[in-house]
Amino acid sequence: MAWKKLYVLGAGSYGKVYYAVKIDSYGLCASVAAVKCADIRRSISLQQEAQILTTLKGCSYVVQFFGADVSIDNGNIPTYNLFLEYACGGSLHDLIINSKKRMIKMSELEVGFYAYQLLKGIQHVHKTGWIHCDIKPANILVFDNANECNMHKLKLADFGLSLKVGGGMAYMTGTPLSNRGTLLYAPPESLTHELVKEWHILLELRRAIGDYTSCAPESLTCDFHAKAYDICSLGCTVTEIMTGNRVWIYRDSGDL
């Protein structure tokens, strides 16, 4: 049974995302998926994402990965396809925008339920040895199993910018504006590296009270910073769920 791409769900910097179905020998739809597609020559980031998703399998707070293949699409173009479970509720960004349009404020219970699911997902990603590096509402998928309180199931998605824990974050080099993810959800220190000094003090304190005494301070600093990166983005995301507004407002460099 082959996958059949039916229509475009959206687009990313690498290519397009399609809604796809698998039709069985009786002509019935056997499964559905979202397929991220890229010209094979520009598919490195998708191939890396596939490798990361393979290691993250089995967590119900991370989008499930069905596999990858190469097909010949539109006039003989070799295309890399990455198959994911389909999120019929779209992204958390859509959910926030729709709630705002209908002037529905999410209850504390709802916000807490969403924050819990995101934390469980992040915990799994960190335990598996990765830092997501681009947590934001547009990269969180919404599933349709709204419960009796009208709350949805959320899953982390889009691991195209993820890094290995301890691999060292770009901003640890001390270069301003060297962060990886979306600026509006990035920790301020990834832009200015000013706060790095204060994190060092915190780490020194933890070392002094006996934590991590056998680790080299540098390795500890990298690890601590890297995981903190996702937690800061989570804070911005949860605040946006609560208020309907982004924590930071974008102004182009001319205004700054």
Ligand X SMILES: Nc1ncnc2c1ncn2[C@@H]1O[C@H](COP(=O)(O)OP(=O)(O)OP(=O)(O)O)[C@@H](O)[C@H]1O
Binding residues for ATP: 36
Q: Which of 91, 162, 233, 237 binds ligand X (CB under 6 A)?
A: 91
Of 81, 132, 158, 226, the one binding ligand X (CB under 6 A) is 158
Residue 246 · residue 240 · CB < 8 Å = yes
Among 95, 125, 131, 157, binds ligand X (CB under 6 A): 157
Within 4-33, the residues that bind ligand X by CB under 6 A are 9-14, 17
Residues 192 and 198: beta-carbon distance below 8 Å: no
**Are 17 and 8 in contact, with CB atoms under 8 Å apart?**
yes
Is 106 a binder of ligand X (CB under 6 A)?
A: no
- The verdict on 230 binding ligand X (CB under 6 A) reads no
Q: Which of 73, 134, 211, 255 is catalytic?
A: 134
Size of the chain, expressed as the number of residues it contains: 256
Give the separation between CA 66 and CA 53, rounded to whole angstroms.
9
Residue 62 or 106 with smaller CB distance to ligand X: 62
Q: Is 63 in the site for ligand X (CB under 6 A)?
A: yes
Q: How far is CA 89 from CA 75, 81, 142, 153, 255, in A?
A: 32, 22, 5, 9, 36
Least Cα distance to 237 among 124, 158, 138 occurs for 138
Is 134 one of the annotated active-site residues of the chain? Answer: yes
Tell me which stretch binds ligand X (CB under 6 A): 69-77, 79-87, 193-201, 203-211. Answer: 79-87
Count of CB atoms within 10 A of residue 156's CB? 24
Tell whether residue 36 is a contact of ligand X (CB under 6 A): yes
Residues labelled catalytic: 134
Binding site for ligand X (CB under 6 A): 9-14, 17, 34, 36, 63, 84, 86-87, 90-91, 138-139, 141, 157-158, 160
